[in-house]
Structure 1
Amino acid sequence: MDSMNDTAIKNYCTWARTALIKGVAQRMERYNISEGAEAGLAAVGPLVLNPQEAAQRDELLRLCHEEGTEHLRDRAAYTWFNRIAAVRYMEVHDYLPSRVRMFTRPAAAGTWELGSQAVDEALDVQIEGVDPMRVAELKQAGEDEPLFRYLFLAQCDELSGCLAGAFQPVDACMALLLPANLMDADGVIGRMVGDIDEASWDDVQVLGWMYQYYNSKVKDAFFASKAKETPDTIGPAIQLFTPDWIVRYMVQNSLGRLWMLNNPASPLREQMEYYIEPDAEHEDFIRIDGPEDITLCDPACGSGHILVYAFELLARMYLERGYRERDIPELILTKNLAGMEIDPRAAQIASLALAMCARAYDRRFFGRGVQADIAVLAPVALEEGDVPQGSALEKRKDLVGALAHLDEVGSLLAPGEGDLEALREAIVLAGDGGLFGSSSKERLQRALGTCEALACRHDCVVANPPYMGSSSFGPFMSKWVKKNYPDSKSDLCTCFIERGFNLAKDRGYAAMITMQSWMFLGSYEKLREKILRDHSISSMAHLGTRAFGAIGGEVVSTTATVFTNAKNDGDGTYFRLVDMGSEEEKKAGILEALADPDCGWFYRRDADTFKQIPGTPIAYWMSEGLFNAYEKGGRLGDVVDARVGMISGDNNRFLRMWFEPSAEKIGFGGSYLSPCCKKWNPIQKGGEYRLWYGNLDHVINWENDGWELKEDNFDGSRVRSHNYNGEMAFRRGITWNSITSGRFQCRYSDEGFLFDAAGPLCYVNDHAMIPYVLGLMSSSVFVETMGIVNPTLNFPPNYIEDTPFIFESDYQDVVDNAVSVCVKAEKSDWDSLETSWDFKRNPLI
């Protein structure tokens, strides 16, 4: 990983996607392959087709009709990108069966240069299926490009035979769409060889990064468009390659932890730099006899990075127990590892990467016929005739619907034993012929096979699940997720947290890197309650933003959590890395914390303490004093009524700066008991960062008790304004900025103000307590509390009311006096500005 040139790889892959699509499009134009083109031709314009080309063209036209021209073009482009990258990786590692390089030739001093050793030595190259006569003919004619194309296609066919899952057979017709001039210096292969140095191919991770970068523009365009996902877009849109150190942290503290709990003296401990010593006294765990007993699943495996590192760790376990190296790959791939993926392209990369791991241990692996267990969750559309009347399956419409949309819901589908029995019964009833013929039975068997894989439980579940908010869900996905994951429905990644618990065995581990939103937001409160009630947090690396340095990450805040699928006593381990500014700093920070627990960002916390806090946020870094305040104090909501403000529905129409209307039409100095009857009235509306007093800039049309704003009868449209909070209007209280780019801030609000969503109102039940409450809400302790229970830029009223409140009457006078001084000073400062309606004169005059 350290030897990879990320920038060069990213630049190449984004360029190569465009170049390949253009090259495939040129081939389609050359052979007139488009929707509606005539089939059965022996020639296209002046181009005469041989029988093989004519058959390939007819098949491409059929696919074009089924998929559409652009879809076929893009699929062909990626097919060749995938094959070219795979062959390049294998030739650098000398894994090609022919042991001859396809894209480079020997140069001086043991180096390699652009060119084809296979073409140079074509008469002696051993590639399965190659016709020596054809090779000799092309070699004698000096036609290097046709010879290269012939050998490359033959090499792809041979690899598809020995690596079927990783190198699926290329449709014969796709050969017609292989772009021309690939080996030119500025061609796709030429630039791959020239732009990406050989050291970057040392680690198999390069294949996953290339897939990530190839799709980066597609992914960016999808989210920029704010479109709803479809089966065609969801795959590339949710792919996110996980940095190696985060993968190691999750796998070492799940798979590695299970091994160490069963083998406390294992030397594997010294090879796991991110491993956290378990508190075995409080932890029950799954007992295993040896490495063959362990199963690990990645339910959203993408290009297989997590599975690749799990392979590495499992191989060390097998070696520790004395297994022969050549036997280890087959054992791991058939007994230990399972992956699931909705994107077949990513699944191919995952299979390829694992095959490369296996080949590193067993030089004869390609000939053993062993495939990685990577399930591509493709839709199984059971039609009405496929479901026998009166069967149990007929009543399971939700299951049938989910199976038809597996390329969207993927491994979130959690079939139960009843679902499996219903499918088995349907297969028996379908028989081998008649109304429910062989095609129905085949579809039912595919559905059963998929559901059996989804129903399996594993010792460890490790994933970087997809991140996609519910606003991007398509129609089916939206309804299905709300029904099946009501406590985590707002994002796919949080749905996967729940799914991880029923994929993992009891006492097993579910390790996932997700967005941090589930830790704090009110929409996930039920999910948190479920986690704290039924499961345990073994460890957490709270990463914040910028954890995915190679692909950006300034916006998404993440956390990597290892859950135990059991309720354990004892403390969990937490690393607070949110304030570290880069991926490298976070990586170094976790290693430093493991070496020095007193570093300042390492915490141990019993998760049951979170239950003391309203909303149960995962506030592991909260001080003992603040925990005690929550436990022993009351709620601020017992003495205040915090309200969100109104939405005008049309600020351009109803809102003004105070100096825009005539002063005679503004109701300054109104009160709750005698509100002003003038057209324009002052309103609290947030504003810039300011404490104690100020930001009195706006007025709103509230003539006749806001009749025009409430009725909105000018343009005949619906009333868009709402939440007037009439009983709180014009009351004295405390206002705050509901959305801020910095710390929480609040100010005194005198009588005579309305308030809107940007400047809500905290009404204090006892007016005499306003200074005391304002002092609390302006204190560093309160600001720190807000940052703990709600580390976002949004401060809704429920967070205000849920903070602890301890009234000390002995200190009330001191607090009141200090707050009065602060408010008076800030009011004087505000009124010294000419933009204040109480401006008298410049203080310097």
Structure 2
Amino acid sequence: MNDSAIKTFCVQAREKLEQGVELRMRKYGIAAEGVPNAAADAVGALPLSPIEREQRAELLQLQTKLGEGDAAHGNVRLKERAAYTWFNRMVAIRFMELRDFLPSRVRMFSRSDGSFGSQAVDEALDVEIEGLDAARVLQLKQASDDEALFRYLFLAQCQELASCIPNVFEPVDSALELLLPDKLMARDGVAQAMVEDIPEEDWLTHVEILGWMYQYYNSQAKDDFFKSKSKATADTLPVATQLFTPEWIVRYMVENSLGRLWMLNNPQSGLRERMEYYIEPDAEHEDFIRINGPEEITLCDPACGSGHILVYAFDLLFAMYEERGYREREIPQLILQNNLTGLEIDPRAAQIASLALAMCAREHDRRFFGRGVQGNINVVAPVHIDGEELPATAPLLGQPQLMDALAHLDEIGSLLNPTEAELAAVGATAEQLAQVAASDMFAASVAEKLQQAKATCELLAKRYTCVVANPPYMGSSSFSPFMSKWVKKNYPDVKSDLCTCFIERELSLIDNLGFCALITSDTCMYLSSFESLRKKIIEDNTLLCLIDTRGSNAHPDVFDANAGWVLQRGCRKGYEGAYFKLNQKIGGKDSALLEAIRNPDCGWFYRRDADTFRQIPGIPMAYWFSVSLLEAFRSGHSIEEDSDYSGSPNITGNNEVFLRFFWEISENGLYSKWRPYSKGGEFRRWYGNVIHVVDWSESARSFYYENKTSTLLPERYWYQGGITYTMLTSGKACFRAISDGCIWDKSGPVICRLGTKLELCLGFLNSHIAQMCLDALNPTMNLQVKDVKSLPILGKGFDSSNTLLVDECISLSKTDWDSFETSWNFKRHSLL
């Protein structure tokens, strides 16, 4: 599939469609400044037909609603909404015409030979589209007005498809017909690019092309959002967080959750042969949900986006039904009615997901469009209920947090997990209002909103046998004020990122012994802020398998860092999960995963009981640790037991005033006013890098103590020698001995009071083993003191010869350091 061509098309199509919509808005006085007259019979010199007047009035009303009081914002949102609506419909019709899925069996955007043009226009007199006015077609054909004829046929085709796929072609705001851009079939237009720039085979062989188009359509808006560094709003959140999941990751997740459930219940199933990414279960410890047939399986994607995960799940479920003897044409309806659920906050993405599932169904059932069956794709939309709208006795008034959450569902979406008390309150209130709705128009309006709230809460409270997702990624720094406050309250242990909130939420969506598969940022594998999450995962669930693609390009647009989890609800002691270290430079990650599944001795496949991670401080997912290294953490003693470092490092608050290079001061000032200052520096082991001095006079220390932006190093650590290192590093850690008499700041901390164990600790810290441990404890660029101090030391086999070796390394490094003018002890260059 030509990703580059697809991206170029989508970006340009959005720009051209929005320009075309804006021209139509201006033509009909919808984008005019001031307050347009919704009942006007004409716009300037342009008279309006009764239908156009009605459509214009509807659009002005929609514009006001979308703008929420801001006319300019309403203009922008209406333009965007109309543009993406027509984009989705054009793409859908192109997809169907190439597969011969259109009821008319006639191409709309190309001729029968595949060239750009319209077979429908060429053969207009013979085209059979429901609702088509033959007289109108003949009139346009005789007038040779191909543009008007195409517009008429295209809108008629959309209307016919509204009865087949209403989620995509719904006569929503039929008034949007007024904003269909002119000259869609013009040379160098959107339709021509769609036909000529994207090969037919891409449309025919990749149903996921629909998802890629959705993501690429939003790519520029996404870039603009992150460049702006603004807080996410309900408008920008979907654009900023949508990511299309690569196919091999989708297969890995679905095959090891949905496929695993099927294989455990049907160990002789031939389905195993088609699941390349399936990892054999541990039969000794396996327990699972018993099912009698595929009808009993439920799978949910709580952030379904454009539906790629659901599409592959459809294919796997289809094979299950086939295996049980169901007829091909009856299977699609059973799958959509029984098995799949998608939740999404973005109506645009939900349209694509609905379309993708409908295309999967139509592939196997040529009469599917006439069966009135739709995929269970749900837009989690906000429900605004004002407390003043409710009776004073309404139970919902006792749940103000739920009411607040319902009003912001376009931000929090499926993260809302209604409690039993909240479900009861919204249900009772809906029933209370329903009783008076028949005789009170105001109550009827509120009752309708309450029914929507009730349906949404019940949907979000459901549980499934499988949950599979690529959740949204967004750090808390980009949260809106409401989102930030709500997440801190409802997901306190994982509040730093949306994707970690979804880990916790998805585990609550599955039944006991159900499967949860998801792809997330890898930071939750090791960062201290997610230690509570890791503890919950290990104590309450079973980690079946994990792919670690950190530092690779496995997942576009996520800073090359990912972890693909498959978890089961309920902890099974002794279970050894499968772990794949795909962050090594071993070629394509998908082929590397397949190689590891076929050949466990490949070198990047591991089996570990997740419970052993609790032996390591911070519980990092260090699956590659050897048994002996894990035992060292359990039975050894930490560096912290042999050293001292606590409290805050020194922060001057004004380095320009209080810091100097040592060569900038006179010898008389040293130690009377200025003190050597450890501040990290470049990569260097064993000795060196102390080139700064800090003002340590009484007046300076008073400033550090009193100033709000400064921190005074606690007195017990003044002038202490020991081991220092550079905290900020993009490569290996580097530890150095430092003499007494120094002060240090946070970028060059000192582990002090080591006594006779300094050489032992320094030798260990500069070893390969220590580096391996640090890579697991904290593989970020900031090496924290707590991680260094938690490293285990056994002390066995460390004798005087080892001490002499460390002393020699220090001596050699000191000689080298003193050979340059940046050393306090420089005498002469070594080459002279």
Which 10-residue stretch deviates more, 356-365 or 6-15?
Answer: 6-15
Q: Distance in 2 between matches of 1:199 and 1:417?
A: 50
Q: Distance in 2 between matches of 1:41 and 1:158?
A: 31
Q: 1:648 to 1:157 in 2, by over 3 A?
A: farther
User: Do residues 642 (structure 1) and 629 (structure 2) align?
Assistant: no
Do 1:347 and 1:376's aligned partners in 2 also have CA atoms closer than 8 Å? Answer: yes
Task: Give 2:470's aligned residue.
Answer: 464
The one of 755, 761, 771 equivalent to 1:783 is 771
**Aligned-pair distance for 1:722?**
2.1
User: Do residues 826 (structure 1) and 823 (structure 2) align?
Assistant: no
Map 1:760-771 to 2 at 5 A: 760-763=749-752, 765-771=753-759
User: Do residues 52 (structure 1) and 51 (structure 2) align?
Assistant: yes
Do 2:554 and 2:589's aligned partners in 1 also have CA atoms closer than 8 Å? Answer: no
Which 10-residue stretch deviates more, 250-259 or 381-390?
Answer: 381-390
Task: Give 2:82's aligned residue.
Answer: 76
**Aligned-pair distance for 1:547?**
3.7
Q: 1:774 to 1:283 in 2, by over 3 A?
A: same
User: Do residues 377 (structure 1) and 372 (structure 2) align?
Assistant: no
Q: Distance in 2 between matches of 1:614 and 1:250?
A: 29
Q: Distance in 1 between matches of 2:767 and 2:651?
A: 29
Do 2:727 and 2:747's aligned partners in 1 also have CA atoms closer than 8 Å? Answer: yes
1:38 aligns to what SS in structure 2?
A: coil
Amino acid at match of 1:563: L
Q: Distance in 2 between matches of 1:13 and 1:185?
A: 17
User: Do residues 663 (structure 1) and 650 (structure 2) align?
Assistant: no
User: Do residues 579 (structure 1) and 588 (structure 2) align?
Assistant: no
Task: Give 2:366's aligned residue.
Answer: 363
Task: Give 1:306's aligned residue.
Answer: 309
Deviations 1:384-408 (A, max 9, x none): 1344423432221111111111111
Q: 1:834 to 1:9 in 2, by over 3 A?
A: same
**Aligned-pair distance for 1:124?**
1.0
Task: Give 2:515's aligned residue.
Answer: 509
Do 1:732 and 1:750's aligned partners in 2 also have CA atoms closer than 8 Å? Answer: yes
User: Do residues 533 (structure 1) and 539 (structure 2) align?
Assistant: yes
Q: Distance in 2 between matches of 1:490 and 1:577?
A: 25
Q: 1:323 to 1:516 in 2, by over 3 A?
A: same
User: Do residues 797 (structure 1) and 815 (structure 2) align?
Assistant: no
Unaligned ranges ≥5, structure 2: 68-73
Which 10-residue stretch deviates more, 366-375 or 726-735?
Answer: 726-735
Percentage of identical aligned residues:
52
User: Do residues 813 (structure 1) and 800 (structure 2) align?
Assistant: yes
Amino acid at match of 1:796: Q
Which 10-residue stretch deviates more, 207-216 or 408-417?
Answer: 408-417
Q: Distance in 2 between matches of 1:494 and 1:605?
A: 22
The one of 23, 26, 29 equivalent to 2:23 is 26
Amino acid at match of 1:7: S
Task: Give 1:715's aligned residue.
Answer: none
User: Do residues 324 (structure 1) and 327 (structure 2) align?
Assistant: yes
Q: 1:158 to 1:505 in 2, by over 3 A?
A: same
Map 1:147-296 to 2 at 5 A: 147-202=149-204, 203-296=206-299
Which 10-residue stretch deviates more, 241-250 or 487-496?
Answer: 487-496
Do 2:649 and 2:711's aligned partners in 1 also have CA atoms closer than 8 Å? Answer: no
Q: Distance in 1 between matches of 2:651 and 2:22?
A: 52
Q: 1:652 to 1:94 in 2, by over 3 A?
A: farther
TM-score by length of 2: 0.96
What is the RMSD of the two structures over their aligned residues, measured on CA atoms? 1.7
Amino acid at match of 1:65: T
Task: Give 2:481's aligned residue.
Answer: 475
**Aligned-pair distance for 1:188?**
0.8
Q: Distance in 2 between matches of 1:480 and 1:341?
A: 19
1:575 aligns to what SS in structure 2?
A: strand
Do 2:254 and 2:313's aligned partners in 1 also have CA atoms closer than 8 Å? Answer: yes
Which 10-residue stretch deviates more, 518-527 or 314-323?
Answer: 518-527
Q: 1:619 to 1:387 in 2, by over 3 A?
A: farther
Q: Distance in 2 between matches of 1:141 and 1:170?
A: 31
Q: Distance in 2 between matches of 1:631 and 1:387?
A: 59
Task: Give 1:677's aligned residue.
Answer: 672
Do 1:157 and 1:170's aligned partners in 2 also have CA atoms closer than 8 Å? Answer: no
The one of 30, 33, 36 equivalent to 2:34 is 36
Amino acid at match of 1:144: D
User: Do residues 405 (structure 1) and 408 (structure 2) align?
Assistant: yes
The one of 489, 499, 504 equivalent to 2:505 is 499
Do 1:702 and 1:709's aligned partners in 2 also have CA atoms closer than 8 Å? Answer: no
The one of 135, 139, 142 equivalent to 1:140 is 142
Do 2:88 and 2:168's aligned partners in 1 also have CA atoms closer than 8 Å? Answer: no
Deviations 1:658-686 (A, max 9, x none): 33x3324642xxxxxxxx331x3321111
User: Do residues 696 (structure 1) and 690 (structure 2) align?
Assistant: yes
Deviations 1:479-536 (A, max 9, x none): 1111111111111111111111110000000101001111111111111111111111
**Aligned-pair distance for 1:705?**
5.9
**Aligned-pair distance for 1:170?**
4.2
Q: 1:74 to 1:820 in 2, by over 3 A?
A: same
Q: Distance in 1 between matches of 2:586 and 2:379?
A: 37
Task: Give 2:109's aligned residue.
Answer: 103
Amino acid at match of 2:698: N
**Aligned-pair distance for 1:723?**
5.3
**Aligned-pair distance for 1:642?**
3.4
Deviations 1:576-627 (A, max 9, x none): 1011366xx1101110011110000001111111111111111111011211
**Aligned-pair distance for 1:63?**
2.5
Q: 1:701 to 1:287 in 2, by over 3 A?
A: same
Q: 1:392 to 1:805 in 2, by over 3 A?
A: farther
Q: Distance in 2 between matches of 1:24 and 1:406?
A: 29
**Aligned-pair distance for 1:823?**
1.0
Do 1:740 and 1:794's aligned partners in 2 also have CA atoms closer than 8 Å? Answer: yes
**Aligned-pair distance for 1:750?**
1.2
Deviations 1:23-68 (A, max 9, x none): 2222222223225243233333333333322332232223233321
Q: Distance in 1 between matches of 2:85 and 2:54?
A: 20
1:156 aligns to what SS in structure 2?
A: helix
The one of 436, 439, 447 equivalent to 2:445 is 439
2:236 aligns to what SS in structure 1?
A: helix
Task: Give 1:671's aligned residue.
Answer: none
Deviations 1:280-313 (A, max 9, x none): 2211100000010100000000000000000000
Q: Distance in 1 between matches of 2:236 and 2:178?
A: 26
Q: Distance in 1 between matches of 2:64 and 2:403?
A: 27
Task: Give 1:842's aligned residue.
Answer: 829
**Aligned-pair distance for 1:168?**
2.6
Q: 1:38 to 1:396 in 2, by over 3 A?
A: closer
The count of corresponding residues between Structure 1 and Structure 2 is 817
Task: Give 2:760's aligned residue.
Answer: 772
2:436 aligns to what SS in structure 1?
A: coil
Q: Distance in 2 between matches of 1:825 and 1:750?
A: 16
Q: Distance in 1 between matches of 2:397 and 2:262?
A: 44
Deviations 1:214-273 (A, max 9, x none): 111111221222211111111111100000000000000000000000000000000000
Q: Distance in 2 between matches of 1:601 and 1:57?
A: 62
1:389 aligns to what SS in structure 2?
A: coil
Amino acid at match of 1:301: C
Q: Distance in 2 between matches of 1:656 and 1:387?
A: 68
**Aligned-pair distance for 1:708?**
6.3
Amino acid at match of 2:22: A
Amino acid at match of 1:516: D
Q: 1:581 to 1:149 in 2, by over 3 A?
A: farther
Map 1:544-559 to 2 at 5 A: 544-548=550-554, 551-553=556-558, 555-559=559-563
Task: Give 1:743's aligned residue.
Answer: 732
Amino acid at match of 2:672: C
**Aligned-pair distance for 1:655?**
2.8
